[in-house]
């Protein structure tokens, strides 16, 4: 499905903890909140192509910029906990009530934490390509796959990207690299430079000092998926980094009750590479069909 950025959904804003928080919205009906990942340039714009189809399916489809990402204000707290806690505050500020969450990349772990803490707030959770929510392979005795995101963040935080750099980063996350059109590239690059890059660099250093995004936890996040009290759907790309396809297969094999799907011809940018599969699987799942 083509994305027409010339007819982009208008930016909207709501104030949370004194910070202007930007979001995109289409449709009416039961709310579905889309949460973006943490890579350089990540923002609600990742889901521009996805909001319309969800809206047509009868949902109020909303994508927010986390604090310090996209066009949302940057606060003094750049920590992961502050970003995560912004989600229920955003929900309350818009009066959404109970929502379904669609979370890509690192935000899958944030969404998991929220659903475990307050399951009554969320109706469903759809996870797209979150590496921390699938187990390591048996030979991965040091948990190195859970450190991939942290290393990538550090590498990206070293030098402000050129347009060519941004294109390379986008294509690395996609199986269907033709989806990186000039318009998509320009939009992503605008979210990756200047103040956005400075904030990304400061955040990466802050998180590294706090143990990094892949820090060891008492109970690994992937084990906590099994504790969820709400329905969960997991979608992974067969060709995603860090052997995600193999790891997802292992998780499904050891826990066959999981609603877990692996999509061929798909890398890390699941909402783009596996766009039609996301609609086919997630829309009826959230509707309870």
The CATH number that applies at residue 168 is: 3.40.50.1820
Q: Give me 71's structure tokens.
A: 């066009």
CB 285 within 8 A of CB 124: yes
Count of Cβ atoms closer than 10 Å to residue 196 Cβ: 22
In angstroms, what is the C-alpha Rg of the chain?
17
- Please give the full DSSP string across 102-136, using - where no structure is assigned: EEETTHHHHHHHHHHH-GGGEEEEEEES-GGGSPP
Question: What pLDDT digit, counting tens, does each position of 189-223 carry?
Answer: 999 999 999 999 999 888 765 555 544 567 899 99
Question: What pLDDT digit, counting tens, does each position of 64-114 carry?
Answer: 999 999 999 999 999 999 999 999 999 999 999 999 999 999 999 999 999
Sequence-distant (≥ 6) Cβ neighbours of residue 194 within 8 angstroms:
none
CB 129 within 8 A of CB 175: no
User: Is there a domain that residue 238 lies in?
Assistant: yes
How many structural domains comprise the chain? Answer: 1
pTM: 0.92
Question: What pLDDT digit, counting tens, does each position of 117-157 carry?
Answer: 999 999 999 999 999 999 999 877 445 555 555 555 556 65
- φ, ψ dihedrals at 94, nearest 5°: -90, -5
User: Is there a domain that residue 200 lies in?
Assistant: yes
- Cα separation, 108 vs 203, in Å, equals 19
- Cα separation, 167 vs 148, in Å, equals 20
Range of the domain at 179: 6-287
User: Is there a domain that residue 1 lies in?
Assistant: no
């Amino acid at each position: 499905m083509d994305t027409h950025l010339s007819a982009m959904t208008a930016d909207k804003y709501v104030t949370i903890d004194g910070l202007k928080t930007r979001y995109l919205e289409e449709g009416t009906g039961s709310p579905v909140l889309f949460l973006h990942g943490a890579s350089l340039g990540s923002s609600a714009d990742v889901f521009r192509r996805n909001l319309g189809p969800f809206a047509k399916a009868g949902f109020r489809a909303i994508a927010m910029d986390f604090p310090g990402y996209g066009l949302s204000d940057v606060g003094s707290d750049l920590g992961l906990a502050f970003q995560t806690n912004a989600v229920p505050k955003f929900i309350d500020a818009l009066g959404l009530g109970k929502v379904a969450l669609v979370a890509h990349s690192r935000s899958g772990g944030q969404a998991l934490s929220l659903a475990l803490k307050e399951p009554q707030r969320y109706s469903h959770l759809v996870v797209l390509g979150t590496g921390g929510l699938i187990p390591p392979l048996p030979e991965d005795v040091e948990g190195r796959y859970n450190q991939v995101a942290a290393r990538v963040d550090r590498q990206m935080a070293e030098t402000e990207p050129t347009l060519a750099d941004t294109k390379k980063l986008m294509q690395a996350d996609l199986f269907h690299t033709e989806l990186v059109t000039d318009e998509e590239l320009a939009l992503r690059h605008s979210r990756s430079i200047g103040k956005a890059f400075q904030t990304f660099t400061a955040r990466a250093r802050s998180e590294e000092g706090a143990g990094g995004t892949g820090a060891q936890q008492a109970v690994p996040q992937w084990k906590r998926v099994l504790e969820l009290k709400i329905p969960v759907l997991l979608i992974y790309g067969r060709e995603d980094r860090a052997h995600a396809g193999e790891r997802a297969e292992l998780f499904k094999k050891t826990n066959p009750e999981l609603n877990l799907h692996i999509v061929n011809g798909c890398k890390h940018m699941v909402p783009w590479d596996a766009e039609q599969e996301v609609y086919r699987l997630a829309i009826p799942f959230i509707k309870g069909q």
